[in-house]
Amino acid sequence: MKLIARVGFFLLIGAIAVWFFLVRQSGTQRYTAGLEEGLKEKLAAEEIVLRGFSRQKGEFYISRFAMTGGEKTFFSSMEIRNLKCRIGLLNAFTKEWDPGLIQISRADVDLRAGADSKEAAESMAKVLFQETGRLKLDAFDVKDMTLRWGYSERTRGTIVGSKMRVQRVADKWKLVFRGGTFSQNWLKRLAIEELIVVFGKDGIVFEKAVFKKGQGYVSLTDLKVIAGERPDVTGKMNLRKMDVSGMVPVAARNFIEGTVSGEFKVFGSTNSSEGIGYEGDVVLNGEDVLVLRDRVHLLRALSVVDAFNNYRRLNFKEGVFHLKTHGGKLEVTNLDMKAGDLFSMKGNMKVRLPTEEEAKNLTTEGQAEPDSDAILSDEELEGRINLSLANAAKDTSGKGGIGFEKSADDSLFARLGVSIENRALEEQGAERLSRTLRYEGEYTISLPKEAFARSPQLAEMYPLDTDSGRIAMKVPIEGVLYDLTIKQAEEIYKKGTR
């Protein structure tokens, strides 16, 4: 018995000594440096900084760490806040460490859109699906997750402020997002109802994707991203009573409102200059309404010269058009819509980025001024961006939140702070760019036969079509949004009288 007691006492003293050793070592610079090197190797990071590492009361804790990645890994930059998990007293000496659910308060990750070579693609897959040795990684929980991908306006997408749960399923990872917003291409800031993504070495599968905008929904079905140097995207997108404010260029929200429904094909690549595209038919069958407002110069002129009708708001409740967006262009073709007996329109239109020469002419010649009651003015844009930057730049002392550090030094944290500012400014610039987009095409509109009854010159210029009993007008579409139809409107003002 005395021998057993002595052995027990010896083991107790040994355990206490080991405990003191682990506690003391966990706070040393040497231990932290070793942890940084381990993470850097496993994640193929180019640079890593770790702060606030500790282990106490059975918990492993890192207050903050940041990394930058190169061609061999899946991210360009990453910052993690308040990571904690379970750790046993003697995990340093056991064969396996099971941390259980790894909890993170906030993560901000810039994903690489793809690889530049076959070797780089294989390296990225190796990092994501490597064996973790004695460390058992099965589940992560992130309270505030932000993901960004794409290197241009055509490919750029984000998930912002979402709750994310990650689970290992066999040799794959399953990600579940709830809350926050999703943006991709011309779909902007859709509220995430539920997003379930499974990714493995062969690519990514969207098991469920439901987003909301206003009273409408967007769902993705059979959506896949096939792994490779240029990841191919294929699938379908269904819109149900989708608010067009989340689909059209920001500047166009002054001109059109309402909801649409339709089924679209999704195609393209996250790692190409053309980006991801959508194509399909939009059908107005009574449930949806598109409203065209008299911000269009021609409609305002018609309201002045037509003594019997008003064109301030045209409610289109029936019709169809084909919509395609890809490679920085948006095409509306085979459009045929009616606003009751008041107004109908048919035709095609394309929206594209300006050429260098056109952009130069805009800056020297100017363009029609936006309406003062614009839905999203420059001041509102700047206010929103400044607010996001203020949140991102909060002090890291624990009193001001968990935002990115704003300092004059050249540390990795400081550089990431500058990076998020640049991304916000890019977003602001992209929304302002929507005012310089070029519109091209032609529509044929029809008006009631009495529209020009009080305007003889207009009645002569636009005679009544005897077959339809209506007045037909060709409307050329050319130029930037705020200049569209302005010349035709001026001519109608000049020739029309009440």
Smallest CA-to-CA distance from 223 within 232, 214, 211, 213 is with: 232
Q: Is the pLDDT of residue 448 over 90?
A: yes
pLDDT digits (tens, 9 = 90+) for 340-369: 999 999 999 999 888 888 877 765 554 544
Residue 383 is which amino acid? Answer: G
Q: How confident is the model at residue 458 (pLDDT cuts 50, 70, 90)?
A: very high
Q: What is the pTM of this model?
A: 0.73
For residue 9, the model assigns a pLDDT of 37
Would you say 221 and 244 are in contact if contact means Cβ atoms under 8 Å apart?
no
Percent of the chain with pLDDT over 70: 70
Give the separation between CA 61 and CA 85, rounded to whole angstroms. 7
Say if residue 136's pLDDT is above 80.
no
Confidence at residue 383, expressed as pLDDT on a 0 to 100 scale: 46
Least confident among 66-75, 137-146, 165-174, 314-323? 66-75
Residues whose CB falls within 8 Å of the CB of residue 33, separated by 6 or more in sequence, listed in order = none
* CB burial of residue 387 (10 Å; 0-12, 13-18, 19+): exposed
H helix or E strand, kind and range, residue 234: strand 232-243
Residue 329: its pLDDT value, please?
86
**CB-CB neighbours of 319 under 10 Å:** 19
Q: What is the residue-wise DSSP string for 10-40?
A: HHHHHHHHHHHHHHHHHTSHHHHHHHHHHHH
Quick one: how far is CA 174 from the chain centroid? 21
Are 110 and 148 in contact by the 8 Å Cβ rule? The answer is: yes
User: Average pLDDT, whole number, for the chain?
Assistant: 78
23, 145, 156, 160, 465 from 81: Cα distances, Å = 22, 10, 24, 15, 69
Higher pLDDT, 66 or 371: 66
Place of tokens 């009645």: 459
Reported as a pLDDT band with limits 50, 70 and 90, residue 32 is low
Tokens of 456: 């003889």
**Does residue 34 or residue 8 have the better pLDDT?**
34
pLDDT of 157-215, one tens digit each? 899 999 999 998 888 889 999 999 998 877 888 999 999 999 887 888 999 999 998 88
* Res 19: pLDDT: 37
pLDDT at 162: 96
Report percent pLDDT > 90 for the chain.
39
CA torsion sign for 464, 470, 474, 477 is positive
State the Cα–Cα distance between residues 421 and 355, nearest whole angstrom.
Answer: 27
What is the per-residue pLDDT for 456? Answer: 93
Q: In 117-229, which ranges are E strands? A: 139-149, 157-169, 172-178, 181-184, 187-200, 203-213, 216-226
Least confident of 34-38, 219-223, 294-298, 487-491: 34-38
43 to each of 39, 66, 131, 141, 166, how far by Cα in Å?
6, 12, 12, 19, 17
| DSSP codes, 32-70 | HHHHHHHHHHHTTEEEEEEEEEEEETTEEEEEEEEEEE-
Q: Which comes out higher in pLDDT, residue 123 or 249? A: 249
- Give pLDDT, residue 327: 79
**Which of 76-80, 81-85, 396-400 has the least mean pLDDT?**
396-400
Two structure tokens written together for 484: 């569209």
Q: What is the pLDDT of residues 273-325, one digit of tens each?
A: 778 889 999 999 888 999 999 999 999 999 999 999 999 999 999 999 999 98
User: In the predicted model, is pLDDT for residue 381 greater than 50?
Assistant: no
pLDDT single digits (tens) 88-131: 554 554 456 677 888 999 999 888 765 555 665 566 666 666 66
Average pLDDT over residues 25-53: 68
Confidence of residue 452 (pLDDT cuts 50, 70, 90): very high
373 pLDDT band, cuts 50/70/90, is very low
Q: What is the DSSP code (8-state) at residue 97?
A: B
Higher pLDDT, 71 or 47: 47
